[in-house]
Structure 1
Amino acid sequence: MASLDNLIVTTALPTIRRDLHASLESLEWTVNAYTLSFAILLLGAAILGDRFGRRTVFAAGVALFTVASAAAALSGSAGMLVAARVLQGVGGSVIFPLSLTLVVTAVGERRRGIAIAGLSGMSGLAIALGPWVGGMIVQLGDWHWVFWLNVPIGVLLLPLALARLAESHGPYARLDVRGTLLVTGGLLGVVYGLVRSSALGWGDPQVVGSLTAGAVLLAATAAWERRAPHPVLPPHLFRRRGFTLSNAVALLVQGGMFGAVFLLTQYLQNVLAYSPVQAGLRTLPWTAMPLLVAPLAGVFGERLGVRRLMITGCALQAASLGWLAVVAEPGVSYLLLLPAMVVAGAGMGLFFALSARQTLDFASPSEEGLASGVNNALRQVGVVLGVAVLAEVFAVRGGYATAASFTSGLRAALWGGASMVAAATLCAALVPSAPPRERPAEPGPAPVREVSA
């Protein structure tokens, strides 16, 4: 349900733009309001689960996500929709890390890789169906039903979660309130400045002030986390080269790919004149490939090595964005786009199946909830930054005025996305070949169960 909302909304963006008279900036916030709140609160969700019970907090996240989806469906303005998307992000931020932790703790060590790949496959299924389901809903009904779809799923899931999931707690029960507030303000400042720059220009005081304030707060976050007793971004985890590099890969891949998807779904409808359903169907070769590749990646990760498959997955995605940038034209045949979409989907399948697993390989068992939260948070931060940066590139080099203008901006943005994923490929190559045989030792003394400011 939470994964579905990553891409189901993208197919509806052109319709939302026309219906609510939304600007490019408003469309960015429709995506970024969800992913930004999602990313920030992921950092604390695992800790709340450790303190209050993972099943309990997970169920609360499902309930909030369901209510927020109903609010989004009832939105009559871009502002109301953005506010509802913020609440959706809060609910989703709880669902993602705790679902991974609940799955990992429910299976033995020998089945851990397959279990993670299975969960990633379910996420991949939602992402695969998202554009097509969104297009079908928009064409047969209206965009509001993109959000109504979540409500019956949530209503059915909530009692099942409470009845079938076992309650569990973890050792990380102290919430770093100051660190959470600092990183939230820093990321919000940077993203707000990037989004506003397309309308106001880079020299505008509002843009400069926002970017400067964001950078200062992020620097303050780094300084505070080094001395915080229970940091929200634990420095001891980032001192492990494998953990840091695998998270850098996650951030860069999510940014490059989802920033590109934000514009490509609009390109198929605004430039190539496909209906929402037709556009959704034409993205299936891209989004459905992870369904085929992810299960195989979970199996062959043991034989071929996670590092080797991650390098391959990143390289395939970078190459596919470069191909799309070369062939994109106002009247291009879909057959020229198809090979790149298949290759991108194969690379994405490898990434989805192995990214979380590779990160958790550099964390001890008791750190898995916290490490999962950090990994998921950085992946969503990547989406926010990718959409903001590539939309700015698009606005500078093109726009919505004509098909030629849109295509010009799209090509520049695709090269930007390809560069981000190429950098991820380099980071993937630098990740240690295999984690230590003995997983890292537990950090420091046993934490105390309390919330601290």
Structure 2
Amino acid sequence: MAVTNDAPATGPLPPGGQERKVHWGLREWLMLVVVCGAFSLDALDNIMVGIATPQIKDEFDMSTSAAQWVVSAYVLGFGGFLLLGGRMSDLLGRRRVFIAGLAVLAVGSLVGGLATSGLLVIVGRLVMGIGAALTAPSALAIVIGNFPEGPQRNRALGIYTACGAVGYSIGVVVGGGLTEASWRWTFVLSVPVALAALVGALVLVPKDQAHDGTKRHYDAAGAVTVTAGMLLLVYAIVQAPSEGWASGSTLVLFALVAVLLAAFAFIESRAPQPLLRLGLLRNKSLVGASLIAAAILGTYMSYQFVGSLYLQSYRGWSPLEMALGFLPIGLLILTFAPRAGKLIGPIGVRWMIFGGMLAYTVAFLLFLRIGEGSSYWTVVLPSMVLIGIGFPFAFTAANVLATKGVDESEQGLAAGILQTGYQVGAAVVLAVVTVRMGGEGGEPSPALALSGYHRGTWVIILIAAVSVLAVVAAAGTDRLRGKRATRTAPAGAATADAGE
């Protein structure tokens, strides 16, 4: 791949400490557009159909509990198959798995768009989630594998972040607009986009390296146990708010999850070529980034859920009006995310995450001011501005931190672990927020509904604030470790790491 740079991708900076400009050719830009487009499509699908769910529910006369599976089936397929998708991209080839995922995504979208029953819509959403579980880790692994660590990769990940994050934000606008015409367009739109990305991948993404001839062990037992465990975990999280977190059925599900994941760990410790090398979980950067990822997307999706209810259900805004109300987040992410990667060198990944999560925390605190007649411009918009600035800082830095120091042969798996953090975090945090918002059943009065929005927002604030404190503690620990290493290192040894 002919990516060029005036300075080395890694190692010391040129005199003056300034990173020189990264130069990419047309092919590199087009490949990045294809890969980022697929990531953005995953995000768009997740949001667009959520906006259309009330119309789907009405058309097929679905119960509320059945209608929630229009959203939850996607999360189930995505979260359940992510680790498997990540490892498949390492073993079978990132390009192959990426292309396969796009094909599966297109099929699921077509099934949902042409569905004649609520059940078929749910099946289509499950298939779309499985397709996203294949494309998300392989797309991130393609970016990491084709751009050297350092300023090139940071810049590429900033652009990748922008596309995904804008997908989550613009998905509200696109979903609102399409739903005004027909909810089916929220499915059908994905078909040509996925097929275009598939053709682009065939032409632009470099072919996977030829197999060296050594015998591969695909660890079928590990794949079955971890996929079943993740499917049950996401299912248990989704069902818990309606069934009760302490109910017998919920406790049984979580017990089965524990058994399956324990069996998976036992299998992996003895497998000749494990699906997940357990030593990878000792990588503190990867584990820490995955936990931060859970907080980033979990709090953002929950804020979007509470905010959309406040604007649509409480204030009576139409889906399109609500979508336009969220537009500033997407525009700000589009502005800042491509530039965020350039700040990682001088600032450091942990302080980038700190800044992003601090902006999150202040944004959610400002949102607590919502009331019966609150002005969008003075109450809601300020929180959206801070989120639009904070998201690309934290999201880009988490992606860089997760893949730092991970061997090339395990980049797909690392991407799968990180994406699992995002998806499981979104499911867990949203489930907890939903429980805290819940009333006594039936349609709540306006006063009770507003009180529920505040309770849910306090949960979001708590998680964001804890994340800020955790990042500060981790940065302090790294600083102390660095000082000790400096005192014990031989003269002239370099111990500082700009990325930390």
When structure 1 is superposed on structure 2, of 382-391 and 296-305 the one drifting more is 382-391
Q: Report the 3-state secondary structure (helix = DSSP H, G, I; strand = E; otherwise coil) of the residue aligned with 1:162.
A: helix
Partner of 1:122: 163
Partner of 1:448: none
Amino acid at match of 1:259: S
State the alpha-carbon separation in 2 of the partners of residues 337 and 398 from structure 1.
28
* Cα distance change of structure 1 residues 48 and 11 upon mapping to structure 2, 3 Å threshold: same
Question: RMSD of the TM alignment (CA)?
Answer: 2.8
Deviation at 1:228, TM superposition (A): 4.0
Encode CA deviations 1:266-317: one digit per residue, 9 max, x unaligned: 3321111111111000011223321122122111111111111111111211
* Cα distance change of structure 1 residues 377 and 412 upon mapping to structure 2, 3 Å threshold: same
Q: Report the 3-state secondary structure (helix = DSSP H, G, I; strand = E; otherwise coil) of the residue aligned with 2:438.
A: helix
Partner of 1:365: 408
* Cα distance change of structure 1 residues 316 and 228 upon mapping to structure 2, 3 Å threshold: farther
Partner of 1:53: 93
Partner of 2:25: none
State the alpha-carbon separation in 1 of the partners of residues 266 and 443 from structure 2.
42
State the alpha-carbon separation in 2 of the partners of residues 22 and 424 from structure 1.
38
Residue 98 (structure 1) aligned to one of 129, 138, 142: 138
Match status 1:332 vs 2:377: no
Gaps of 5+ in 2: 1-40, 483-493, 496-500
When structure 1 is superposed on structure 2, of 101-110 and 240-249 the one drifting more is 101-110
Gaps of 5+ in 1: 439-453
After superposition, residues 24-63 of structure 1 pair within 5 angstroms as 24-63=64-103
Q: Report the 3-state secondary structure (helix = DSSP H, G, I; strand = E; otherwise coil) of the residue aligned with 1:327.
A: coil
Residue 82 (structure 1) aligned to one of 122, 128, 143: 122
Partner of 1:282: 325
Amino acid at match of 1:67: V
Partner of 1:168: 208
State the alpha-carbon separation in 1 of the partners of residues 58 and 469 from structure 2.
41
Amino acid at match of 2:343: F
Question: Which structure would you say has the larger RCO, counting Cα contacts within 8 Å and 6 or more residues apart?
Answer: 1
* Cα distance change of structure 1 residues 97 and 204 upon mapping to structure 2, 3 Å threshold: closer
Partner of 1:443: none
Q: Report the 3-state secondary structure (helix = DSSP H, G, I; strand = E; otherwise coil) of the residue aligned with 1:363.
A: coil
When structure 1 is superposed on structure 2, of 5-14 and 116-125 the one drifting more is 5-14
Partner of 1:427: 470
Deviation at 1:348, TM superposition (A): 1.0
Deviation at 1:64, TM superposition (A): 0.9
Deviation at 1:403, TM superposition (A): 3.4
Report if the CA contact (8 A) 1:44-1:175 is conserved: no
Q: Report the 3-state secondary structure (helix = DSSP H, G, I; strand = E; otherwise coil) of the residue aligned with 1:131.
A: helix
* Cα distance change of structure 1 residues 372 and 5 upon mapping to structure 2, 3 Å threshold: same
Aligned-residue sequence identity (percent) comes to 29
Amino acid at match of 1:329: G
When structure 1 is superposed on structure 2, of 332-341 and 105-114 the one drifting more is 105-114
Partner of 1:72: 112
State the alpha-carbon separation in 2 of the partners of residues 159 and 410 from structure 1.
44
| TM, length-normalised to structure 1 | 0.87
Report if the CA contact (8 A) 1:265-1:279 is conserved: yes
Report if the CA contact (8 A) 2:353-2:398 is conserved: yes
Report if the CA contact (8 A) 1:28-1:388 is conserved: no
Report if the CA contact (8 A) 1:47-1:174 is conserved: no
Size of the aligned set, in residue pairs, is 437
Partner of 2:235: 192
State the alpha-carbon separation in 2 of the partners of residues 77 and 400 from structure 1.
27
Report if the CA contact (8 A) 2:84-2:227 is conserved: no
State the alpha-carbon separation in 1 of the partners of residues 287 and 199 from structure 2.
38
State the alpha-carbon separation in 2 of the partners of residues 40 and 382 from structure 1.
13
Match status 1:307 vs 2:350: yes
Match status 1:246 vs 2:289: yes
Amino acid at match of 1:320: A
Report if the CA contact (8 A) 2:158-2:340 is conserved: yes
Q: Report the 3-state secondary structure (helix = DSSP H, G, I; strand = E; otherwise coil) of the residue aligned with 1:352.
A: helix
Q: Report the 3-state secondary structure (helix = DSSP H, G, I; strand = E; otherwise coil) of the residue aligned with 1:2.
A: helix
Amino acid at match of 2:162: G
State the alpha-carbon separation in 2 of the partners of residues 23 and 289 from structure 1.
37
Report if the CA contact (8 A) 2:83-2:227 is conserved: no
* Cα distance change of structure 1 residues 179 and 406 upon mapping to structure 2, 3 Å threshold: farther
Partner of 1:379: 422
* Cα distance change of structure 1 residues 145 and 59 upon mapping to structure 2, 3 Å threshold: same
Deviation at 1:152, TM superposition (A): 1.3
Partner of 1:159: 199
Deviation at 1:402, TM superposition (A): 3.8
Q: Report the 3-state secondary structure (helix = DSSP H, G, I; strand = E; otherwise coil) of the residue aligned with 1:166.
A: coil
Amino acid at match of 2:65: E
Q: Report the 3-state secondary structure (helix = DSSP H, G, I; strand = E; otherwise coil) of the residue aligned with 1:168.
A: coil
State the alpha-carbon separation in 2 of the partners of residues 255 and 282 from structure 1.
20
Partner of 1:181: 224
